Structure 1
Amino acid sequence: MPPAAAAPGPRVVLVGPPGAGKSTVGAALAERWQLAVRDTDTDVETVAGKTVADVFVEDGEPRFRELERDAVTTALVEHDGVLALGGGAVLHPDTRAALHRYRDAGGIVVFLDVSLAHAAPRVGLNQSRPLLVGSPRAQWQALMDARRPVYEEVATVRVSTDGLRPGEVAEVIEHELGVQRVTEPGA
């Protein structure tokens, strides 16, 4: 069973750096718990009518962060399944405040931690990641060094994804939360 809804909002929120597996782990948890999954990067793309990378290039990072903040605060109220946040969503003070309110109401925020060695192949460290242009490995490490304290601040639970497939990470999260997979009908 998924964690009980302590308050309105998602059953669990996933945060972490690019390559941690937020989207794929979110999908795995949603499938296991028979819940909907929502990704705030997808919400931003829907509102903007273009990709996250295009928002960065055409409108700039401040506009992207504004759209991202709005996507997170909306999803924290509207969505009752598994919610995956973009890697930099936690940087905005309003988003952190919303996550703190969500946690204070009994919500669960899982920090999916990953090392550079394991993130690199997942991310591909290519140009589709706007903040990793230039020296991608150095940029990723600098982002992680700056963001780690914020991920830790907003998280209820930290789970390393190094060397694990999405389903295995979902199992670790279930173990950490003391919940179990929803059994299939007729199983």
Structure 2
Amino acid sequence: MKTLVLFYSTYGHVWKLAEAVAEGARQVAGNEVLVKRVPETLPKELLDQIGATGAQQAFAHVPVATPDELKEYDAIILGTPTRYGNMCGQIQAYLDSTGGLWATGALVGKVGGGFVSTATQHGGQETTLRAVHTALLHHGMVIVGLPYAWQGQMGHEEVTGGTPYGASTVAGGQGERQPSENELEGARFQGKFTAEVARKQAAK
């Protein structure tokens, strides 16, 4: 079985969640897990201007996934920052390039889900994840979220991400906040749970 954790990250928050999702997916025996990123679409000048160039060096070694390779995986989990309550342009552009896979039904029956980062607690985490789900549903994929079996999203003692639609983190207005251990644990839970569902789906 193969799982792809595919992400775009501006300042590294989504990348850290991606690593945690992959860590959880690797807990399922016999599951080959790959972490890859989508191509950057912003010019370097703009990345320099918003202070993202240096942050992105931390995960520059992560390979870029081609759209055609998606058909090789049993599970695909997408990570994106929120842009006005929706996916970032980089993820959207990548999904827009998967028309050939849609036309042939290459992803029908595969398992998928999403995880996200927003600047604030109410910055569109759930709407962004629903947008991810919509794209995956158009491909005929089976959607897996972050069920309330993970009790970390039930607490209110600290600021935290985590929704039934998928794992999430709150980055802060200047990107100053890193994913908490609770948020990372939610990502691990989602990764493992998604891989378990994918295994059952593949066995049908």
Give the TM-score range, shorter chain.
0.3 to 0.5
Query: Higher strand proportion, which one?
Result: 2
TM-score between both structures, scaled by the size of structure 1: 0.44
Greater relative contact order (CA < 8 Å, ≥ 6 in sequence): 1
TM-score between both structures, scaled by the size of structure 2: 0.41
Query: Higher helix proportion, which one?
Result: 1
